[in-house]
Structure 1
Amino acid sequence: MQWLKYILALMSLVGLWFVGLSLSGFIPLPASLLGLLVLLLGLMWLKRIPPALLKVSQFVLGHMLVLFVPATMGVLLYAEKLADNLLWLILSIVVSTVLSLGITAWICQRLWQPTDQPPATPHDD
């Protein structure tokens, strides 16, 4: 009967993707991300991870490389177009990476207060 639990866990992961797919009509996010958010909320509500779901998730994550084969083949099919625009691709990747890291660092500096110092108080001048 253990295999039945694994099948149900796999079906629940696929079902959550379908939930995300239906939510993506209302929320402009990818279906897989919305399904993961619903899964996260469900696991937070349960306050534990069911053992069968953990085992199935570890197996799927261990074989995730197979899921990237179509994307890799797409890159190979459009290699000529990518080569024509290589400079712009590299430039956009570098600029977006620098911007996202810079904005993240700036937000962290603003939000993170060291615990060994008391909060700043206004001075009366």
Structure 2
Amino acid sequence: MERGGAYAFSAALSGAFLLSCLLFAAINRRQRGPYMDEAFHVPQAQAYCQGRFLQWDPMITTLPGLYLVSVGIVKPAAWLFGWTGSVVCSAGMLRFINLLFTAGNLYLLYLLLFKIHQKNKGTLHV
């Protein structure tokens, strides 16, 4: 990826992340509790936060990876910052974990596109 393209892509990713942050703030301000499918996922993640890893809601059809990662991020952060009670593993905190995943996905997209464009530079276009 050329330098100008990299700057443009970086600006686009930054804008997308900023938009995601603004949407996160707006939604979290208006909708404090679980919404739509969060009614299944938030209690499941909260069970994992409480160490009940064998509890599983049969209505959930996804793998438990996000719940495990959420616990792996939220629990150390709660210990580090002294969070207690309703903040730890709340719907808002779990939504924030998804926001972090958004940032990670945008970065992976950048790396993927950079790799693709580097590979295309080596080929001769006729």
Higher RCO by CA contacts (8 Å cutoff, separation 6 or greater): 2
TM-score by length of 1: 0.29
**Bigger Cα Rg:** 1
TM-score by length of 2: 0.29
